[in-house]
Structure 1
């Protein structure tokens, strides 16, 4: 799996792409949710960059797949943790997590693989900070 610079637009793009693809298909509602979230603008991700990262992710997943003959592609927990570490800035993590949550809820179906990805991200990134009353 290729590596990206920590907190780079490519690292964020890959997390968004993985979130959309983890359930086995790209849903147009999920793409719309990602675009509506504002994460692309905040992370300086243009369409060409996002498309390039999606293509790279697909290539990497196919080359590292453990169950390709079954039609499934799995990412082990250690590798997923490595990918999650590429987004380290707390504010960027929060924006990325919000977009990931928007994506997984967009089609009205919360797939078990989506749940596992979100749970792993919360574990790696920590729970969001609690808002304190002023």
Structure 2
């Protein structure tokens, strides 16, 4: 294989990576807007619960998005399924916070257990989300 042959996939890599980063940023913005607590302020103050919760949520979103990249047939296909992943992950926060009404306040108080719980829910939903997005051949 030639050097130029090795780089033949570079345009696709750049397109998918750029799109994935854009979705990641959009997800993070929307997520931090819908949560009652202010993640970045809390994290800057050293709040471990907020860092754990946000970190788990970002991993939970990245899991299905990475699976979509691996199986997408086009950038449009990727965008559609990445949007589905985004909505599912946001809904997981909404449902979790409705189930545990004090979740946000507990994260604000730096209760690590609440942060771990939110992270675990997010990663779990992300894993299920990713598995459901794998095409059945």
Do these two structures clear the TM 0.5 threshold for a shared fold by scoring above it?
Answer: no
Q: Which structure has the highest helix share of the two? A: 2
* TM-score, structure 2 as length reference: 0.34
Larger Rg: 2
* TM-score, structure 1 as length reference: 0.34
